[in-house]
């Protein structure tokens, strides 16, 4: 039996995806195999928090080798530049010396904007390789997990923060109440905690269950964030939909009574309520859809193999670990996956053992089909890779549905 990580109610099981490896453990053949865990998704019908039952140890997931760099995507660089502008717009007093803290700053793609604008800032990240990337750019960053000790150290060295920002990070941290409590301490009385994460209702609608992997222990909705904030003496006062990662939500949280509750938030909460955020039916349907998608993808790949076609993958994403392992796809069905991250080249995918090569080599090896694992960057990738279609390579997508693109 699992209890909700926020409100402690008993969780209701939704779907078990089976044994999964660490999603970002791209390794050499000779390296030890990845740590594994049972990936079961559950929902709390008390506070609506959708979550995984178990999660591997944080130090197995985030360490000196974390092979993901936000800044590799042009679209994400633009997104974080505009996220930074929106945070500046929250500040009414333009002469104020503001201080922004980013939790999970990765390679500093967001905080580079603070640096450019002369805004006092600090990034925190547990992975030393990305912290070094920040420091090499002149972005202030420290290595460590964000918690009580880190919050106190930041206050002692820099004072309280006007803004705390996090993107695709809070859903990684299991002790969510503790995070909210410590962010509450770090924030000035009128400060704002702005964070954005893949949105529960987008995942349900697109059946993008590959958003769930070891790191993504939560899939938030406005309802669950409102409840977590309340439980920890904070208040959700606004939300803003984002196009990133197939549909994300940006949440604005402050101290109780400090900010006006927005109309947008009220509408969003109504929408979630009417859509059945606390009703088991929508989650049962999601589980059915996940199994249906697995069958459809397997059928398509089997039929292409039987027809003698060469199928490969594009982008060795964290998400691909869930798809490949849940659908039991290995190098018999997908010969290789190409990727732009130098750290991943020459390695194999976790669990499924598919070799990773560069995009240049992929073109030389010319597959007939490419499964797009970075479907969340579809527009960016299809436009920069239009040469592939001229080479006779067709794209296979599986979000929102399994199909070969025209």
List residues binding ligand DWN (CB under 6 A).
68, 72-73, 168, 215, 315-319, 339-341, 344, 374, 376-377, 380-381
| Shortest distance in whole angstroms from residue 280 CB to ligand DWN | 27
For ligand DWN, the closer CB: 163 or 314: 314
State the maximum Cα–Cα separation within the chain, in Å, rounded to a whole number: 67
- 400 upstream amide cis, omega within 30 of 0: yes
What is the helix (H) or strand (E) element at residue 293, kind and residue range? Answer: helix 280-306
| Shortest distance in whole angstroms from residue 1 CB to ligand DWN | 28
Nearest Cα to Cα of residue 143 among 194, 108, 118: 108
| Shortest distance in whole angstroms from residue 356 CB to ligand DWN | 9
For ligand DWN, the closer CB: 27 or 344: 344
| Shortest distance in whole angstroms from residue 260 CB to ligand DWN | 30
Q: Which DSSP state fits 355?
A: B
Nearest Cα to Cα of residue 180 among 164, 202, 200: 164
For ligand DWN, the closer CB: 121 or 344: 344
For ligand DWN, the closer CB: 218 or 237: 218
For ligand DWN, the closer CB: 214 or 272: 214
| Shortest distance in whole angstroms from residue 67 CB to ligand DWN | 7
Q: What is the distance between the alpha carbons of residues 361 and 357, in angstroms, rounded to a whole number?
A: 6
Residues 6+ apart with CB under 8 A from 375: 208, 246, 397, 398, 399
Burial class (CB within 10 angstroms; exposed 0-12, middle 13-18, buried 19+) of 392: exposed
| Shortest distance in whole angstroms from residue 359 CB to ligand DWN | 7
Phi, psi of 124 (to 5 degrees): -125, 130
Residues 6+ apart with CB under 8 A from 308: none
| Shortest distance in whole angstroms from residue 339 CB to ligand DWN | 4
The residue sitting closest to ligand DWN, measured at its beta carbon, is: 317
| Shortest distance in whole angstroms from residue 273 CB to ligand DWN | 27
Q: CA dihedral in degrees (159, 160, 165, 166; nearest 10)?
A: 80
Angle, alpha carbons 337-338-339 (nearest 5°): 120
For ligand DWN, the closer CB: 187 or 249: 249
| Shortest distance in whole angstroms from residue 287 CB to ligand DWN | 22
For ligand DWN, the closer CB: 119 or 225: 225
Q: Which DSSP state fits 211?
A: G
For ligand DWN, the closer CB: 182 or 318: 318
The count of C-alpha atoms lying within 13 angstroms of the C-alpha of 103, restricted to the half-sphere facing its C-beta, is: 28
Q: What is the distance between the alpha carbons of residues 17 and 323, in angstroms, rounded to a whole number?
A: 10
For ligand DWN, the closer CB: 73 or 227: 73
For ligand DWN, the closer CB: 179 or 316: 316
Instruction: Write out the two tokens for 4.
Output: 């909700």
Residues 6+ apart with CB under 8 A from 115: 108, 121, 137, 138, 139
| Shortest distance in whole angstroms from residue 14 CB to ligand DWN | 21
| Shortest distance in whole angstroms from residue 255 CB to ligand DWN | 27
For ligand DWN, the closer CB: 276 or 342: 342
Q: What is the distance between the alpha carbons of residues 369 and 334, in angstroms, rounded to a whole number?
A: 10
Nearest Cα to Cα of residue 134 among 166, 179, 102: 102
């Amino acid at each position: 039996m699992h209890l909700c990580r926020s409100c402690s109610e008993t969780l209701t099981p939704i779907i078990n995806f089976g044994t999964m490896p660490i999603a970002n453990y791209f390794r050499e053949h000779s390296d030890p195999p990845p740590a594994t865990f049972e990936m079961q998704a559950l929902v709390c019908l008390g506070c609506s928090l959708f979550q995984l039952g178990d999660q591997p140890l944080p130090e197995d997931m985030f360490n000196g080798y974390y092979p993901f760099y936000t800044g590799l995507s042009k679209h994400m660089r633009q997104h974080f530049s505009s996220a930074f502008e929106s945070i500046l717009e929250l500040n009414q007093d333009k002469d104020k010396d503001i201080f922004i803290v980013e939790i999970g700053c990765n390679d500093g793609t967001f905080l580079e904007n603070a640096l450019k604008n002369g805004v006092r800032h600090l990034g925190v990240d547990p992975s030393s390789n990305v912290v070094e990337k920040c420091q090499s750019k002149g972005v202030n960053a420290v290595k460590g997990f964000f918690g009580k000790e880190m919050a106190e150290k930041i206050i002692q060295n820099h004072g309280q923060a006007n803004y705390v920002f996090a993107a695709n990070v809070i859903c990684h941290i299991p002790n969510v109440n503790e995070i909210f409590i410590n962010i509450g301490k770090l924030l000035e009385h009128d400060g704002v905690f702005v964070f954005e994460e893949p949105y529960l209702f987008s995942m349900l609608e697109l059946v993008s269950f590959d958003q769930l992997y070891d790191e993504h222990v939560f899939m938030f909705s406005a309802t669950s964030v409102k409840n977590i904030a309340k439980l920890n003496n904070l208040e959700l006062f606004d939300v803003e939909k984002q196009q990133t990662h197939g549909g994300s939500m940006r949440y604005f949280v402050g101290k109780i009574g400090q900010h006006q509750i927005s109309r947008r938030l009220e509408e969003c909460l109504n929408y979630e309520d009417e859509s059945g955020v606390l009703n088991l039916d929508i989650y049962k349907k999601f589980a059915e859809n996940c199994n249906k998608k697995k069958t459809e993808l397997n059928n398509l790949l089997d039929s292409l193999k039987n027809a003698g076609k060469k199928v490969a993958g594009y982008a060795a994403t964290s998400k691909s670990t869930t798809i490949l392992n849940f659908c039991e796809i290995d190098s018999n069905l997908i010969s290789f996956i190409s990727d732009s991250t130098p750290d991943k080249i020459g390695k194999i995918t976790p669990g499924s053992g598919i070799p990773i090569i560069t995009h240049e080599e992929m073109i030389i090896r010319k597959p007939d089909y490419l499964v797009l694992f970075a479907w969340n960057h579809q527009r960016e990738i299809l436009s920069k890779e239009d040469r592939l279609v001229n080479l006779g390579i067709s794209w296979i997508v599986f979000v929102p549905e399994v199909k070969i693109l025209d």
